[in-house]
Amino acid sequence: MGYRCARCKEDVEIDEETSGVRCPYCGYRILLKKRGAQPKNIKAR
């Protein structure tokens, strides 16, 4: 799963078991989950 660092804006791949949740470039602990470019269309009932 892809993430982006909130401080340095670098793309980050996280392995939570070994490195924890931290940017390997700047050490910042707030990472934003990348979203897909396509919006989802959900049909209402």
In a domain, 42, yes or no: no
Residue 16 is predicted with a pLDDT of 64
Closest by alpha carbon to 28, among 2, 10, 16, 42? Answer: 10
Residue 34 is predicted with a pLDDT of 87
Claim: this prediction has a pTM higher than 0.85: no
Amino acid, res. 3: Y
Task: Report the number of distinct structural domains present in the chain.
Answer: 1
In a domain, 44, yes or no: no
In a domain, 43, yes or no: no
Asked if the model's pLDDT at residue 1 lies above 80, the reply is no
> For residues 23 and 28, what is the distance between their CA atoms, to the nearest angstrom?
5
27-43, pLDDT tens digit by residue?
899 999 988 778 888 89
In a domain, 8, yes or no: yes
Tokens of 26: 């700047």
User: Pick the residue with more confidence: 40 or 16?
Assistant: 40
In a domain, 21, yes or no: yes
What is the percent of the chain where pLDDT is above 90?
36
- Residue ranges of the binding site for Zn(2+): 8, 23, 26
Which residues span the domain enclosing 17? 1-35
In a domain, 29, yes or no: yes
- Residue ranges of the binding site: 8, 23, 26
